[in-house]
Chains A and B, each alone.
Chain A
Amino acid sequence: MAMCPICDGEVSLGSDTVVGELIRCPDCGSELEVTGIDPAVLAEAPEAEEDWGE
């Protein structure tokens, strides 16, 4: 379980979660990045940059 850095809501992480993974807060809908697993830490996902894409 981790805390959403935006709304302080609780976010549960799956057992296969990896560092760097993008998830969405179920409470506020913010896009979050998993920055730590043990302990679980979440950060606001970075904003899209000009050269992001496929």
Chain B
Amino acid sequence: MRIGLLHSLIRKEEKLLIEEFNKHSHVDLVMLDDRKLIFDFHSKPKVDLVLERCINHSRAMHGLRLFENQGIPCVNTSDVARICGDKILTAVALADHDVPQPDLRIAFTEESALIAIEELGYPVVLKPAVGSWGRLLSKVNDRDAAESILEHKAILGSYHHSIFFIQKYVEKKGRDIRSFVVGDECVAAIYRASEHWITNTARGGTATGCAVSDELHDISLRAAGAVGGGIVAVDLFETTDGLVVNEVNYTMEFRNSITTTGVNIPQRMVDYLLKIQV
């Protein structure tokens, strides 16, 4: 069996996945560096399946679609990448499937965005539709800040920063939850804690183990299903009304979550890939 690993830089996660693949003697791992690939709609890479581990969203989404065009099954699919890579499309998918999420608004001009923010009530969080690792998030506490940030985004940002994704700020008491979904199972979860309101571990948040309750398992699978399934990490907030889904990540990072949870996440990912290939 030939499995293509679509990648760019080899981070800790990819290294761990390579180690797991190498434990299977019948697997021939083919490294597909997105910086070297050329697609021509005719040449079909000799792989039975592609696992996407790119660091650039744009390359991942388009690369996956191009491999799919050649009839190669991909994990995750390009549709999952397209939806998860855009917070607006993710919100639509979650809404379509009645998965609870924080109250939010989307607006296309500074004026309508300001009205939307005041409708939601302060504080709100402004997020770029495409972006990760908690970058360029703005917690907006009052109208003065809202006017200033909207103007800066509209004038200084590229065009997609003028598509305003506005989420009601959820008071999460210093932590949120990340769950890891592999196929039809939520295999593990962590709390991400920080004194800062941004709790991403890429921004210094610390990980501790979180038991996978029935509620967490259920909402994680529903969120994964809403975006198309596969291997995803679901970010959730705890609220007085239960768990709500903040984001779904399709090229999940797990380096801080293996020891923390006691679950060999890359092993579970590889087992899943080999199982769906049988």
Digit string of B186-227 for contact with A (CB within 8 Å is 1, else 0)? Answer: 000000000000000000000000000000000000000000
Q: How far is the CA of A8 from the CA of B64 in the complex (A)?
A: 39
Q: Does A39 contact B (CB under 8 A)?
A: no
Query: Which A19-42 residues sit within 8 Å CB-CB of chain B?
Result: 19-22, 33-34
> Could you tell me if B10 and A50 are in contact, using CB atoms closer than 8 angstroms?
no
Query: Which B231-257 residues sit within 8 Å CB-CB of chain A?
Result: 233, 249-253
Contacts of A54 in B (CB 8 A): 132-133, 233, 249-253
Taking the closest CB of chain A, its distance from the CB of B1, in whole angstroms, is 20
Q: Does B7 contact A (CB under 8 A)?
A: yes
Q: How far is the CA of A33 from the CA of B253 in the complex (A)?
A: 19
Contacts of B135 in A (CB 8 A): 53
Contact among B7, B18, B57 with A53 in the assembled complex (CB-CB below 8 Å): B57
> Could you tell me if A52 and B7 are in contact, using CB atoms closer than 8 angstroms?
no
> Could you tell me if A20 and B131 are in contact, using CB atoms closer than 8 angstroms?
no
> Could you tell me if A51 and B10 are in contact, using CB atoms closer than 8 angstroms?
no
Interface size class of A (residues with CB under 8 A): 10 to 19
Taking the closest CB of chain B, its distance from the CB of A35, in whole angstroms, is 11
Q: Does B277 contact A (CB under 8 A)?
A: no
> Could you tell me if A21 and B10 are in contact, using CB atoms closer than 8 angstroms?
yes
Contact among A20, A46, A52 with B132 in the assembled complex (CB-CB below 8 Å): A52
Q: How far is the CA of A18 from the CA of B21 in the complex (A)?
A: 14
Task: Name which residue of chain A comes closest to B157, CB basis.
Answer: A50
> Could you tell me if A22 and B56 are in contact, using CB atoms closer than 8 angstroms?
no
Q: Does A2 contact B (CB under 8 A)?
A: no
Taking the closest CB of chain B, its distance from the CB of A17, in whole angstroms, is 9
Contact among B19, B33, B56, B249 with A49 in the assembled complex (CB-CB below 8 Å): B56
> Could you tell me if B133 and A53 are in contact, using CB atoms closer than 8 angstroms?
yes
Interface residues of B (CB under 8 A from A): 7-11, 15, 18-19, 31, 33, 55-58, 85, 130-133, 135, 158, 233, 249-253
Contacts A19-B33, A22-B10 supplied; 13 other A-B pairs, CB < 8 Å: A16-B19, A18-B10, A18-B18, A20-B33, A22-B9, A51-B57, A51-B130, A51-B131, A51-B132, A53-B251, A54-B249, A54-B250, A54-B252
